[in-house]
Structure 1
Amino acid sequence: MADFKLYLICGVGFMLDSYDLFIVNLASPIWAYEFFTASSLAKTTKVPPPTIPFLVRGCVNAAANIGNVVGQIMFGFLGDAFGRKFVYGKELIIAIIGIIFIISLPVNGSKGLTTGVQKMWWLFGFRLLLGIGIGGDYPMSAAIVAERSTLKNRGRMLGWIFSNQGWGTLLASVVTCILLPIFKKSLVGGHFTKIDGIWRTQIGLALIPCFALLYFRFTMPEGKKFLQSTELSGVYKANMSDIDIEKEKTFTGVNGQPITDRRASIIEAHAAQPPQKNHQMTAFVDYFSHPKHALTLFGCAFSWFLVDVAFYGVNLNQSVILADIGYATGATPYEYLLHNAEGNLIIAVAGYVPGYFLTIAFIEILGRKWIQIQGFLVTALMFGILAGAPNLPSGGRFACIVIAQLFFNFGPNATTFIVPGEVFPSRVRGLAHGFCAAVGKLGAILSGIGFNWWSQKDHAKYKGSIGLSGVLWIFFAMELLGAIVTIFCVPETKGIDSDAIDYEECQARIGASHPHLQDSHAEKNFSH
Structure 2
Amino acid sequence: MSFEHLDSPHLKRFQRKVTLLSAGGTFLDGFDLTVIAVAMPMILDHWEFGPGMQGLITSSAVIGSFIGAIWLGNLTDKYGRKAMYVVDLLAFVVFATLTAFAQAPWQLALFRFLLGIGIGADYPISATLVSEFSATQSRGRHSTSLGAMWFVGAVVAYLVGILLVPLGENAWRYMLLTGAIFALIVFFFRVTLPESPRWLTARGREKEAEEIMLKITGQKVKIQPNMKPKQKISSLFTTAGKYMYTIRSHQ
Range of TM-score over shorter length: 0.7 to 0.9
- Among 17, 20, 24, the alignment partner of 2:36 is 24
- Cα pair 1:95 1:132 within 8 Å, conserved: no
- Among 190, 193, 199, the alignment partner of 1:217 is 190
Does 2:75 match 1:78?
yes
Question: Unaligned 5+ residue runs, structure 1?
Answer: 37-51, 107-118, 184-193, 232-264, 272-278, 294-528
- Sequence identity of aligned pairs in percent? 28
* 2:87 alignment partner in structure 1: 90
Does 2:109 match 1:161?
no
1:172-251 alignment runs, 5 A limit: 172-180=157-165, 182-183=166-167, 195=169, 197-228=170-201
Q: Quickly say closer, same or farther: Cα 1:288–1:66, change in 2 above 3 A.
A: farther
Letter in structure 2 aligned against 1:152: Q
Q: For 1:163 and 1:99, how far apart are their aligned partners in 2?
A: 22
Does 2:5 match 1:57?
no
* 2:237 alignment partner in structure 1: 289
Q: For 1:131 and 1:291, how far apart are their aligned partners in 2?
A: 36
Does 2:15 match 1:3?
yes
Shift of 1:30: 1.6
Shift of 1:223: 2.1
Aligned length: 210
Q: For 1:208 and 1:164, how far apart are their aligned partners in 2?
A: 17
* 2:99 alignment partner in structure 1: 102
Please report the TM-score for the alignment, with normalisation by the length of structure 2: 0.75
Shift of 1:85: 2.3
Question: Unaligned 5+ residue runs, structure 2?
Answer: 1-12, 205-221, 242-251
Task: Please identify the structure whose Cα radius of gyration is greater.
Answer: 1
- Cα pair 2:97 2:176 within 8 Å, conserved: no
Shift of 1:224: 2.8
Letter in structure 2 aligned against 1:17: D
* 2:5 alignment partner in structure 1: none
User: C-alpha offsets along residues 284-306 of structure 1, whole Å, 9 cap, x if unaligned?
Assistant: 4345435659xxxxxxxxxxxxx
- Cα pair 1:26 1:176 within 8 Å, conserved: yes
Q: For 1:283 and 1:211, how far apart are their aligned partners in 2?
A: 37
Q: Quickly say closer, same or farther: Cα 1:35–1:79, change in 2 above 3 A.
A: same
Does 2:52 match 1:67?
no
SS at match of 1:26: helix
Q: For 1:100 and 1:93, how far apart are their aligned partners in 2?
A: 11
Specify which structure has the bigger relative contact order, considering alpha-carbon pairs within 8 angstroms and separated by 6 or more residues. Answer: 2
Query: Between Structure 1 and Structure 2, which shows a larger proportion of helix residues?
Result: 2
Shift of 1:33: 2.1
* 2:106 alignment partner in structure 1: 121
Letter in structure 2 aligned against 1:176: G
Does 2:99 match 1:151?
no
Q: For 1:289 and 1:229, how far apart are their aligned partners in 2?
A: 23
Letter in structure 1 aligned against 2:39: A
- Cα pair 1:11 1:161 within 8 Å, conserved: yes
Shift of 1:138: 0.7
Q: For 2:34 and 2:232, how far apart are their aligned partners in 1?
A: 33
Shift of 1:8: 2.4
1:250-269 alignment runs, 5 A limit: 266-267=223-224
Q: Quickly say closer, same or farther: Cα 1:102–1:158, change in 2 above 3 A.
A: same
Q: Quickly say closer, same or farther: Cα 1:201–1:225, change in 2 above 3 A.
A: same
